[in-house]
A and B are shown apart, each in its own frame.
Chain A
Amino acid sequence: MTTDSPLRIDHWIGNAPVASAARDEVRDPGRLADMVGLVARGGAYEVDLAVRTAAEAFRTWRETPVETRAALLRQAADLLEAEAPAVVGIMARESGMLVATNTAEIGMAANIVRDNAEAGAAFLAPEAYEDAESWVGVEKRPIGVIAAIVPWNAPIILAMRKVSPALICGNTVVVKPAPTAPIGLSLLLEKMAALFPPGVINVVHGGAEVGRALATHPLVGKVSFTGGGTVARAIMKDAAEGLKGVQFELGGNDPAIILEDADLDLAIPRIVGGAFRRSGQFCFAVKRVYAPSSLYDEVVARIRAEVDKFRVGHPLEPGVTFGPINNAGQYRALQGLLARTRASGATVEELGSWVSEKSEADGYYMRPVLVSDIDPEAELVQVEQFGPLLPVVRYDDLDAVIDSINAGELGLGSSIWTRDTDRAVAVARELETGMTFVNNAGTSRLGQKNIPFGGVKQSGIGRESSPIGLREYIDYHAINYHR
């Protein structure tokens, strides 16, 4: 591995770089001595410049035919795929995610862009109704400038889930990348923005100050945010001053419920992938497993065997299948949770093996952890850990499991594992979550395109993807002509 000199990343406003006096370091979470980038730190000034630029671009972009916008988005999707090899390495260095994960992410992001491009024309077509006394037109308009605030864990997909529906509907965007994974996204957005008229896609880097400036800027029409609940609450309070709409995709504490008739050969690898991919750092990761008493020991044994295959190390080391935690705050939270879980008396097993052993001085490494014999009300079961600590809970009474899940505040995803799909649907309908996956821990390709992605209760407001997600990026204009 070589340590390249840090990349200097600026804001991107009106298809030109804009620097700031202050810069933030981005360090490799798997090799803390490695400074990956120096990123401009924006504030209210840069946000104002970007938003005014986006608002100016909106005046003409909104008039562009939807077919033109779709064609540009399809070009953007092709460009993402073409540029993937150039950025997956630096993404691994800034986020700690595996190169293969980043490659897959960019591929999925390109699909999301294509899906939104394809859905736009039908969605935006006006409806009209007519009778002897009147004519009614129901038309859809872009909102204006959209603030897209993106987290570090899957920045390309999560940005494209906002940028592509916003653009196909005729909005312009200001994207705020996450401070611990801004580089890959920035490089891709700069290239992508060049396909569009200046000001349609803008990027401002920084922390909470930039988020706040976006949420309070009078020319921002809507804030679309993926991240945590605490930040979402602050954004919503700021947005309230300007009565802006908000769309939030937040965390989850997604249960995987194994029924007695589950096909464990199929289920276990998928559950383990669903829990430990990205070292557990994704919103709809399996955060807890419920296994029936009759299968409990077998489920634990099989998960243990599967998890133990992970090879832990730096994402650029050959053979690594399990990378570090993205940042110090998250690492410390996980270490604390691990210590408390150990103290609680549950069975805690650190699994996997090092490709080459690391210390805390090297980076935010942890091995994947399986927790069994755990109380259903234990902290690890009831909180969103957002990391590689997986509790497996024994149950005898499925109704009690459902009640316990529904008593929680979060409701993003869930998964059910059974050979009986009718039963799966019946159980799914009892679960208070925005999504339920059956016999997998995520969406199929059909699901990616058609599922309104998002959560209920404290897991979010509104939805992303699919024609239902496009609704978040338009205002209705109803016209009533009286004859």
Chain B
Amino acid sequence: MLDIVKAGSAPLTIDNFVDGAWIGGETRFEVRDPGRTADVVARVAAADAALVDRAVAAAAGALKSWSRVPVAERAALVLKAADLIEAEAEKGLDGLAGVVVRETGMLPAEIVLELRGAAFAARDNVTAAQAALEPVVIEDATSIVRIERRPIGVVAAIVPWNAPIVLLIRKFAPALVAGDTLVIKTPPTAPAGIALLMAALAPLFPKGVINVVHGGAEVGAALAAHPKVRLISFTGGGVAARAIMRTAADTLKNVQFELGGNDAAIVLDDFDLDKGIPMLAAGAFHRSGQFCFAIKRLYVPEAIYDAFFERLAAHLDKVRIGHPLDPRTTFGPINNPGQLAFLNGLVAKTRAAGGDLVELGQPVDPATWAEGNYIRPTLVRRPGPDFEVVTCEQFGPVLPVIAYDSLDEVVALANGTEYGLGSSIWTTDFDRGLALARRLEAGMTFINKNAQSRLGRRHMPFGGIKQSGIGTENAEAGLAEFTEIHAINIHKA
């Protein structure tokens, strides 16, 4: 499907996609390989407000006919898109994953899993839509009530760099099956994979249904301000979300935000160190810690703390840090220099505050360490509760490991944050895990693995509470965000 360029080859040229046509332009920005920042992966045409306006106009123009395509046909097209995404996953680095790995810095296995997850997300949203889009009809002697679901209209899907394909498809699939049309804004440090995927998928759909624009905050602001956009579905950080909501307020748009977290993992005293440590480490350090529901704080009972810490450190010390396309690598770079600088600053501040930092793992190739955005996975032993590394969302591989004495204490600590995305509990006792989960202020709680099971992907509304988001994605509840309700009340006499 895709003609993919390998690492080290000439940069890709990536254009905006508006009303079925690729639109370049004078102004281009570069996407660099985070593992070898001298390499330009892509040169990307930057959109401006005028092009955003054209993209929204195209999406608005396509809305009427697309919204009248029967749900079953829209669903079939989204399922076809899911098959194409899965076929890309099967190609490994010879497919789309090759590009996404190079622009994001994520490991090939992670991106292949992400593509499979994106195919699942597309199919699961279609499944949820079957029932959720059906009209509800209620009748009595004097009247009939029909509650019908309509497309919400033009949806602006604003996507981050850390898992661009799956996070896009979580918006793409419900929007399209619901009959909405899309203007997608790609993340500036990972736009190429989305653009290439949309190039492959857009021909399945009528012209104007899918539009893609590239650029930074100014493109997001133009979308948030455009009167014809009715929903902004944004995954990213709180600062950008606030700006989007302030702008969206002028035209009273709907917003759906999936934002960051400071997700606490609570280990209980029956934790199985042998089985659990690798799983728990993955929950924090997968994607070098760069995912929204990564474990960001780890709470361990005092009674097992020292043994636990040693085992976790020993496990992490085995990682080999390097370029994701180097087969020896098990731990990739940070996506962009800004995030790396933030993490290095956090490490320095933690050290200056008297933190006990344990840096782990080894570079694959120390000679090329400085060529990319590299940082070693780092544990912070027994940090104080007010340490910035405990209270902030680090979004990277620096993990505070905190000792606790009682469950009441750990619940208060876990909840003592303005975030509330995910959380995880590590125990072999289901009842105990469930009872504790119900005390945590979070949109999601994972028990014994910091991830969604196959069943979880289908049924969990994915999202956070407090400062971690507004609304939700996936499942019937997420699909509802992409629809409007039209109630018809027929009076019989």
Instruction: Tell me if A243 counts as interface (CB < 8 A to partner B).
Output: yes
A191 CB within 8 Å of chain B: no
Residues of A428-483 whose CB lies within 8 A of B: 428-429, 433-440, 442-447, 450-454, 456-458, 460-461, 463, 466, 468, 471, 475-483
Q: In the complex the two chains form, is A243's CB within 8 Å of B252's CB? A: no
* Chain A residues in 8 Å Cβ range of B456: 134, 136, 478, 480
| Given A446-B140, A452-B485, A476-B461, A239 and B445 contact (CB-CB distance below 8 Å) | no
From B238, B461, B489, give the contact of A447 (CB < 8 A). B489
**Nearest opposing residue in chain A for B243, CB measure:** A240
Number of B residues contacting the other chain (C-beta, 8 Å)?
Answer: 70
Given A233-B252, A236-B252, A243-B257, do A444 and B143 touch, yes or no (CB 8 Å)? yes
A309 close to chain B: CB less than 8 A: no
Distance, CA A408 to CA B317, complexed state (A): 63
User: What's the least CB distance linking B419 to chain A, in Å?
Assistant: 11
Is the C-beta of B286 less than 8 angstroms from some C-beta in chain A?
A: no
Which residues of A lie under 8 Å from residue B433 when comparing CB positions? 481
Is B453 touching A444 in the complex (CB atoms < 8 A)? no
A236 to B241, CA, bound (A): 13
CA of A355 to CA of B143, assembled, Å: 37
Which residues on the B side are within 8 Å of A434 (C-beta)?
484-487
Of the listed stretches A91-99, A125-133, A178-186, A196-204, chain B binds A125-133
- CB contacts (< 8 Å) of A483 on chain B: these are 448
Query: B142-156 interface mask toward A, CB cutoff 8 Å, 1 = contact, 0 = none?
Result: 111111100000000
- Inter-chain CB contacts under 8 Å: number: 205
Instruction: Decide: A237 and B490 in contact? CB cutoff 8 A.
Output: no
Shortest B140–chain A CB gap in Å is: 5
| Contact, CB under 8 Å: B489 / A437 | yes
> Is A269 part of the binding interface, using a Cβ–Cβ cutoff of 8 Å?
no
Q: Is the interface of B mostly helix, strand, loop or mixed?
A: mixed
A424 touches B490 (CB 8 A): yes
A477 CA / B406 CA spacing, docked (Å) = 24
Chain B residue contacts of A479, Cβ below 8 A: 434, 437-438, 444-447
Q: Which of B243, B433, B465, B491 counts the most A-chain CB atoms under 10 A from its CB?
A: B491
Which of B52-60, B261-269, B469-477 interfaces with chain A? B469-477
**Does the CB pair A482–B448 fall under 8 Å?**
yes
Q: How far, in whole Å, are A143 and B469 apart by their CA atoms in the complex?
A: 13
Q: Hey, which chain A residues are within 8 Å of B449, CB to CB?
A: 482
Interface check A139, CB cutoff 8 A: yes
Task: Give chain B residues whose Cβ lies under 8 Å from the Cβ of A460.
Answer: 252
B460 interfacial contact with A, CB 8 Å:
yes
Extra contacts besides A444-B140, A452-B487 (12): CB < 8 Å = A134-B455, A136-B456, A229-B252, A236-B248, A243-B241, A429-B148, A434-B485, A444-B143, A447-B145, A454-B485, A461-B252, A463-B485
A-B contact pairs, 14 of them (CB 8 A): A130-B455, A135-B455, A237-B246, A244-B470, A434-B485, A435-B489, A436-B488, A439-B490, A440-B491, A444-B489, A461-B254, A479-B446, A481-B448, A482-B447
User: Lowest 6 CB-CB distances: which A-B pairs, in order?
Assistant: A134-B453, A236-B249, A240-B245, A444-B143, A478-B460, A480-B456
A positions within 8 Å CB-CB of B: 127, 129-131, 133-139, 141, 143, 229, 232-234, 236-237, 239-245, 248, 250, 266, 421, 424-425, 428-429, 433-440, 442-447, 450-454, 456-458, 460-461, 463, 466, 468, 471, 475-483
